[in-house]
Amino acid sequence: MTVEIPQFKGKKKKYYDLLMNLRDQITQQLEFHTSEALGGNSDSIDKNGMSTHMADLGSDNFLHDMELSLITNEGEVLEMIDEAVQRLIDNEYGKCLDCGVTINPERLEAKPYAMYCIKCKTIREHNGGINPNQD
């Protein structure tokens, strides 16, 4: 199956390139954290895969949990990037999904997968990620 890469021009190309560069960075980070989570710290692990020091066991567990958390977060960002590319294709990119206003270009440059304007994002953060205006 061949995936057709969209051909964008102007601002759309700029944002598409930002999204693809960020996607590459996140993918590399995801690969790194996955190998860390699966590989662990071989210095404190014996041939049976067990920590050789009790103090290392807690540290190893903490680091493993942190790597898993990073993997989850990076996976979510990759999903948001894919959704942003789809919004570019659908001519919906750069519009707040809650109120429909244009998202500030500086915000899109800093976070090209942003779905909400600052006002709506702030409201969502104060309401546990929920838009209180939705039914």
Q: What is the pLDDT of residue 72?
A: 81
Distance from C-alpha of 97 to C-alpha of 91, rounded to nearest angstrom: 13
Judge whether 80 lies within some domain: yes
> What letter does residue 116 receive in the DSSP assignment?
S
| 78 and 26 fall within a common domain | yes
Q: Is residue 105 part of a domain?
A: yes
2 domain-assigned: no
Both 83 and 115 in one domain: the answer is no
Domain match, 16 and 38 both: yes
- 48, 84: one domain: yes
In this structure, are 74 and 15 located in the same domain? yes
Is the residue at 104 inside a domain?
Answer: yes
Query: What digits encode the pLDDT tens for the residues 29-79?
Result: 888 878 877 775 545 455 455 556 666 677 777 777 787 778 888 889 999
Q: At what angle do helices 10-39 and 54-89 cross, to 10 degrees?
A: 160
Judgement on whether residues 79 and 119 belong to the same structural domain of the protein: no
33, part of any domain: yes
Q: CB atoms < 10 A from the CB of 120, how many? A: 19
Q: Is 102 left (phi over 0), alpha (psi -120 to 50) or beta?
A: beta
In tens, the pLDDT along 4-21 reads: 667 888 899 999 999 999
Q: Any alpha helices (H) in 40-135, and if so which ranges?
A: 54-89, 105-110, 118-126
Question: Is the entire prediction scored with pTM above 0.75?
Answer: no
Specify whether 101 is located in the same domain as 87. no
User: What's the number of domains the chain is made of?
Assistant: 2
Q: Are 77 and 106 in a shared domain?
A: no
Domain identity same for 80 and 108: no
Distance CA 10, CA 94 (A): 14
Q: What's the pLDDT score for residue 40? A: 55
**One domain for residues 33 and 61:** yes
pLDDT per position as a tens digit, 93-134: 999 999 999 999 999 999 999 999 999 999 999 888 777 666
In a domain, 26, yes or no: yes
Q: Which residues span the domain enclosing 37?
A: 10-93
3-state secondary structure 2-66: CCCCCCCCHHHHHHHHHHHHHHHHHHHHHHHHHHHHHHCCHHHECCCCCECCHHHHHHHHHHHHH
- Do residues 84 and 18 both lie within one domain? yes
Cα angle at 19 between 33 and 120, to 5 degrees?
95
